[in-house]
Structure 1
Amino acid sequence: MQEAPYGKRCPRPTLRVCLLCLGSIILVGILKTPLDSLWSIDCSPPLACDQISSDISDAMSGRKERLKQDDPRLIEKIRTQYLDPPSLQPYQLTVGDDPSQGQSSAIRKIMGEFRDGFFVECGALDGETRSNSLVFEKTLGWRGLLIEGDPKNYELVRKKNRKAWTVGACLSTKPYPHSVMFEQQFNLGKISSNDVDFTLNMTGVIAVQCLPLYSLLLALNVTTVHYFSLDVEGFELEVLKTIPWDKIDIQTLSVEYIHGSWSKLELKHYMKQRNYWSYNEVALPEGWGNDFIFVKNTYKKKIDYLKSSLRLE
């Protein structure tokens, strides 16, 4: 009988048997693999794993889990689900370039006609009315971030077509993201309670997400803020205490003080501990603009500023 030549392929039935055996071995291996191992598969890109291992929706309320401000999952969630980019459409504004109540003028005296800076304005209202940041955006080419917690006001912000990033959220009063009850009152809207109670059925009070300032800046890859305008109707000091000052360079601030449970002295003392000096107090007879202007010592020392001011006079 003639021998089969070397390397001759298996007959088709034999090949099928081989494939069935191989499939059985793989199936047994899968069945013996712990479920935890299957769920921990590293997906690429990372967002594909959100529904498997990286979903932090339950942690955003701050009740079950306290996320770190620099948690990569939080930063990615802010980038993809909260931040809205600057508008490419023409402005839809009704007032002049500077509707501020004196805060922006004070900052310009300190910084001069500094161009291409970065601002953060929290308490953006409608993006125009009494805006402290608009003049920097329109006349000096600054970029920035507008933060507004009231959903009704935030819709108005978006309609103004500001050339800044925007986010419809509150700034956290704790060093992690959390939810609050928010009273909707246009320019007097504020946090009602740091604890969300979904059983409440009150007109004009809604649950709102709060995000840490540091987390928002990380999502934008920003570490230097040239001007931070903070007006959150009484929770300014609480917001300031969440900031990791060694990780963010905030050069100037305007901070409203009129509605807080803390005193003006407490606010100034806290900022002094953070290496800031008080430039002046902005307060108008009409009751608007009850702010302190703070300057970082490493940006401009008080004595140096006073000397330069005297020379200009």
Structure 2
Amino acid sequence: MRLRTLKKRNFRYVFIVTSLTLLFLFIRNYHNNVKPCPNSTEWPLDRDMDDMCLINYIRKYRMELPSQLPYNMSSESMNRASTIMSSQLMGMDHFWTDAVFFAEKMIPEEKRTKRFFECGASNGEFMSQTYFAERFLGWTGMLVEADMYYFNIMKEKHRKAYQFSLCASTSTKSNKATFLHVEKWRNNGTELFVPGNGQIMDEDKDIPDGFKTDGTKLVDVFCVPIYSIMKAINMLSLDIFFLDVEGPELEILKTIPFEKIDVSIFVVEHNNVSGKLKKLEEFFSEKGYFLQESSVIDSLFIRKEYLGNAKEEFSKLFYARLYEWLSISPIRD
């Protein structure tokens, strides 16, 4: 009897010691695999999209709050043209305004957020995809620009949206990338000062010949997943997502966890690259979106549930909508 009791007691000791040992090994292994948060402004590289070190870093070092100051644009005449879609007035396409028109007219009011996400915001004014909705219709949202030169200019415009000095990652983790900073570009041999045509470059590539002008250089930029930016201000529901990053749009879209966000409309640049539009259409179809319209530059994808009146409403000519909105007064100064 005493022998049996002793065996039971020894078994308990062995069980307790084994359990504590396994627990110690698990905790040590966990801490070895979980990276500590970096100090100060050091880039938190190779972090998952929902890593709190990454999200807190974005909030503290890479985000500007919506401005409370009056707008500070180049000129009021340029403002007006820009807000009513300067791209159309300059002979380009008009999907940016079409997207806002669709959201305002056809998304049910109880589902409308009046929020946007603009990735590739440049200086926040020239050919802005979101300024009209922000100033004249009271929208807000997120403006993302990788080029610090143009981001710093955008801060001085006093936009009423969150501004992020970040690059959109083509991975589900944060990383460093090489960015082509362009202050001028060539047009038939003539250098024009315009907001940059910056883009992420392959590591082994040099500055393209067409961009070798004064002020053009390669710089390192910090890239994070789109979801991390949305999570930083907990703005996961949007009316419109504008994506214009001069090339890796599809790769960036593939990083987004669509089951965790709610976006009604996507406007995506496809750059007239052969086959890219078809791939975008296939991608969005799987996610529950329909290609509403497309040009040689941009494509507009809408949630299939909003297709009911879309064709009829979009039959209105762009200039009819333009005339309607030209009479709108700014909501914000």
Q: Please tell me whether the aligned partners of residues 98 and 131 of structure 1 are also in contact (alpha carbons under 8 angstroms).
A: no
Map of 1:306 onto structure 2: 311
Bigger radius of gyration among the two? 1
Q: Please tell me whether the aligned partners of residues 256 and 291 of structure 1 are also in contact (alpha carbons under 8 angstroms).
A: yes
Displacement after TM superposition at 1:77 (Å): 1.2
Paired residue type of 1:171: A
1:54 aligns with one of 37, 44, 49: 37
Q: Please tell me whether the aligned partners of residues 224 and 248 of structure 1 are also in contact (alpha carbons under 8 angstroms).
A: yes
Aligned counterparts, 1:18-97, within 5 A:
53-55=36-38, 60-61=44-45, 66-93=46-73, 94=75, 95=78, 96=80, 97=83
Distance 1:276 1:303 in 2: 13
What is the TM-score when the length of structure 1 is the normalising length? 0.71
Q: Please tell me whether the aligned partners of residues 179 and 196 of structure 1 are also in contact (alpha carbons under 8 angstroms).
A: no
Displacement after TM superposition at 1:86 (Å): 1.0
Map of 1:24 onto structure 2: none
Deviations 1:68-111 (A, max 9, x none): 11112211111111111111111111221334531232113322
Map of 1:296 onto structure 2: 303
Deviations 1:217-272 (A, max 9, x none): 11111110111111000111111011001101111011000165852211111111
Deviations 1:2-30 (A, max 9, x none): xxxxxxxxxxxxxxxxxxxxxxxxxxxxx
Paired residue type of 2:130: S
Map of 1:219 onto structure 2: 232
User: How many pairs are equivalent?
Assistant: 247
Aligned counterparts, 1:96-175, within 5 A:
96=80, 97-101=83-87, 102-112=94-104, 117-175=114-172
Give the unaligned 5+ runs of structure 1: 1-35, 41-51, 284-289
What is the TM-score when the length of structure 2 is the normalising length? 0.67
* Gap change, CA 1:59 and 1:310, over 3 Å in 2: closer
Distance 2:37 2:58 in 1: 14
Q: Please tell me whether the aligned partners of residues 121 and 143 of structure 2 are also in contact (alpha carbons under 8 angstroms).
A: yes
- Higher-RCO chain (CA-CA 8 Å, sequence separation at least 6): 2
The answer to whether the aligner puts 1:276 opposite 2:276 as a matched pair is no
* Gap change, CA 1:256 and 1:155, over 3 Å in 2: same
Map of 1:188 onto structure 2: 197
Displacement after TM superposition at 1:58 (Å): 6.8
Map of 1:236 onto structure 2: 249
Displacement after TM superposition at 1:151 (Å): 1.2
Distance 1:59 1:183 in 2: 20
Distance 1:139 1:86 in 2: 16
Distance 1:222 1:245 in 2: 14
* Gap change, CA 1:250 and 1:195, over 3 Å in 2: farther
Distance 2:63 2:274 in 1: 31
* Gap change, CA 1:142 and 1:74, over 3 Å in 2: same
SS in 2 for 1:227: strand
* Gap change, CA 1:181 and 1:133, over 3 Å in 2: same
* Gap change, CA 1:242 and 1:293, over 3 Å in 2: same
Distance 1:254 1:116 in 2: 17
Displacement after TM superposition at 1:150 (Å): 0.9
Give the unaligned 5+ runs of structure 2: 1-23, 29-34, 88-93, 183-194, 207-214, 317-333
What is the Cα-based RMSD across aligned positions, in Å? Answer: 3.0
SS in 2 for 1:183: strand
Q: Once the two structures are aligned, what percentage of the paired residues are identical?
A: 29
Paired residue type of 1:70: D
